[in-house]
Structures are given as structure tokens and as C-alpha cells.
Amino acid sequence: MSKIPETALAALSAFEAGTLTPEGYLRALLGRCAELEPELRAWSHLDPEAALAQLAEAPGQGALAGLPIGVKDVIHARGMPRTCGSPIYAGAMSAVDAAVVALGRLAGAYAMGKTETTEFATYKPAPTGNPAAPGHTPGGSSSGSAAAVAAGMVPLALGTQTAGSVVRPAAYCGVVGYKPSFDLIEPAGVKALARSFDTVGVFARSVADAALFAGAVTGLPLLKAAQSPDVPPVLGLCRSPVWDSAEPEMQAAWDDLEGVLRGRVATTEVALPKVYGVAADAHPRIMAREAYQALAYEWHSHRDLLSPQLRAMLDEGRGVSEQSQHEDRMMIARLRQRFAGDLGNTPIFVTPSAPGAAPVRESGTGSPIFNRLWTLLGAPCVNVPGLRASDGRPLGVQVVGPIGSDEAVLRTAAWLAEVLG
């Protein structure tokens, strides 16, 4: 087990050096899955023979050549089930790939299996555990992807974020979670939840690995940025408009982090105008309205198979007027346009990824309160692991910037990862 490369880039280096083959790598990962999966339950579908067949079909060249990816079970991967975490789609098979999976294949990767998701990427918990904090939630909704990467079952896994479903699970499981700028990664073939916010993201064990995948499917020089960590000219420190929701251990860790950063980089406090707090409060309403529209078929035809919590959210969204939805969409457009200007000379900042460490599994998947605003703004966000609660559970901080600043955010995140190393 100890000989399995820790990162995707390390695996690629081993392939190039001839010290490891892609098949040998996959077999080693499958061995780890066989050992851990019965208890962890990170996968909704994992067929070793099918995974080996997927590898055999991979092109053998490209930026991701020979690398397996875990695919969140709201994303199509041909020949595999896509249940969306719901009994409505039990047994449903995908005849096609989502665009992000197809683009990954074109870059040389292959789908290893499907990872567990909460119900339609909302709130009903998946059966997955947290390998970094046993007995605690891995977060949601990309529960299986975060846990599989954290457990070393797969080097890269796809997630989606509509509120906090990439950054929060990454924080709870102690891995990197990269939510790119809104619409940066093509979302075709992903089950929609709220079209103003839905964003495809990636989990990895290093910032460079996350950038590797995102760069391969977008064509942007994101890996180069992540491999060039540099001290930013100035780094913002943003407690965010919801700081009162931070738990004591997060507040203490944040105070310590501020002290560390002030010794290494020029810092400044980032305090946003009150309109951003209003927007954060509006996020759940907008999400509920758009989810009602996206899940209209399921609400109309299979309401009895929806969880009570999801039914309540969709009923709430059904009650939001068309005029209110229009005003909300105009508000989102205005704030996305002004966000960079409001940040001024501090375009990149750090802020908590979650209120604290992972709560116990019985309590749910945790709160996305520290993610909603940045998702609404379409901002690129990278959870950087390294902080810990007193009992060892991971605590996450995220690097954030205005929409389109992915290279700068990844570069700063890679630098912060070194600082927290």
C-alpha cells in the first residue's frame, strides 16, 4: 500500500520512468478499495473488471494518460449507473458520457467508478464515512468523491457545487477541493439542480493535481500556475459576512492562521459591503426556486420517492414568484460584475471553508454557510488542508478570488499549501 503514489502527478512520473504501469497502479488502487470500501462506502458503483476494461480503452496519451477518476453519481459515465442518490433512478444506466468525463477521456484518463452523492446533490446523506474523521460526516453533496480521494482509493474525483458541495467535503476530509469559476468546466451531462450556481469541480491530494485535471479539460494553463507557487503581493483575510457562525475551534485556528500569514505576506482585512450578506441570505431561496424547476419531473411524477427534506425545499421553491426570481437573477449579475472592483487591490483572499470540523454523521452533512456567497458570485475557490481541530479532525480554509481569476487562486492556494505543509 505504501508504494502507491500519493498524487496523480507522482503516478504520471512513475509511468514515465517505467517504475509503474497504469494497470499496476489501478490494481493497487483496487486493492486499497477492497480493503477499505466495505466500511467507508465511498463508491456507488465499482466493478474491478469494468475498471480494467475502461483502462484498456483509454488512449494511452494526453495530459492525464493512465489516470483513473472517480465520477460523482449525478454525472453520466457511459456503461455505468447514474442514480443521483435517489430510488427514482435505481438501476438506470448511462449510455453516454457527460462532457467533463468525455474531455477527461480525450486527455487520457478513464472512469474508475461512480462515487456516492446525497439525493440529487442536496441534503439527504449518502452512506459514506469520513476516513479522516471516523464517525463524522464526509460532508455533502460530493461525499463519495471527497472520501475516496482522502482514503487514497483514487487520485482524482469529480464533484459538483451548488452551495458548498466541493469545498466543504474537501475541508471535512482533509483534501484539496477546487470549485472553478462558474461555467469554466462544461456541465453538459450533469444532473442540474440550480442553473445559476451548478459548477463542476475536482477533488485531489494536491493543488497541482486539481489544476492538472481542470487544465486538461479546459485547455487553460492552470497546472503551470499551480506549479509556480508564489507569495502574493498582498493577501486578503476575510472572515466573511457569516463569521458569527464559525465554531470556537475554527475561530481559534483562524486567529493562529492570521498570525502565521502576517509573518510571511502582506495582509489586509477584507470587509465586503452589506449587500453581499443580503445575497448570501438569498442563496437558499434562489437555489430552491431553480431546483423546483430542474426537478420538475421528479416532483410531479415521483414525489413519494423524494425525501421529506427535498420535498419541502421544492415546495418552497414552487412558491417563489417569477418576479422574485427575475430580481434575484439581476442581483446575481450585478454582484458578479462589481465583485472584483469591491475587492480593489486585494483580489485574492482566504476565508473559512466551513464553520468548523466535520460534525457527527447523525447530524447531517454540515452547513454550507461559508460557501454560499462565493458560489453565488461564481468565484473560484480552493480548499487548502493543513489545519486541525484539537481532536485531529481537519479544518479547512479556502482561497477565493473574483470570477475568472482561477490561475491566481490556484497559484496562491499552492503557496498556502506549502505554508501549511
Q: What are phi and psi of 43, to 5 degrees?
A: -105, 135
117 within 8 A of 188, measured Cβ to Cβ: no
Check: pTM over 0.95? Answer yes or no.
Answer: yes
What pLDDT does residue 1 have?
A: 39
91-109: b (≥16 Cβ within 10 Å) or e: eeebeebbbbbbbbbebbb
Catalytic residue among 44, 141, 307, 405: 141
The four Cα atoms 261, 262, 263, 264 give a dihedral, to 10 degrees, of 50
The span from the CA of 161 to the CA of 217, in Å, is 17
Which of 340, 335, 199 is CA-nearest to residue 276?
335
Q: What are phi and psi of 145, to 5 degrees?
A: -65, -45
Which of 20, 9, 114 is CA-nearest to residue 63?
9
Which of 147, 172, 165, 167 is CA-nearest to residue 157?
147
Q: Strands, E, within 56-124: which ranges?
A: 68-72, 110-115
What pLDDT does residue 211 have?
A: 99
41 within 8 A of 146, measured Cβ to Cβ: no
Instruction: Chunk the chain into consecutive blocks of 10 residues (it has 421) and report each block's average pLDDT, rounded to whole numbers.
Output: 86 98 98 98 98 96 98 98 98 98 98 98 98 98 99 98 98 98 98 98 98 98 97 96 97 97 96 96 98 98 98 98 97 98 96 98 97 98 98 98 98 98 90
Peptide bond into 141 cis (omega under 30): yes
The span from the CA of 86 to the CA of 121, in Å, is 10
Provide the residue type at 221 as one letter: P
Report DSSP letters for 226-255, one per residue.
Answer: HTS----SSEEE---TTGGG--HHHHHHHH
Which of 20, 18, 158, 415 is CA-nearest to residue 6?
20
From residue 211, alpha-carbon distances to 26, 43, 158 in Å are 21, 24, 13
* 274 catalytic residue (yes or no): no
Residue pointed to by grid coordinates 464517525 = 135
* 72 catalytic residue (yes or no): yes
Catalytic residue among 165, 196, 307, 405: 165
Catalytic residue among 72, 114, 124, 191: 72
What pLDDT does residue 332 have?
A: 98
Q: Which residues pair with 160 in a beta bridge?
A: 200
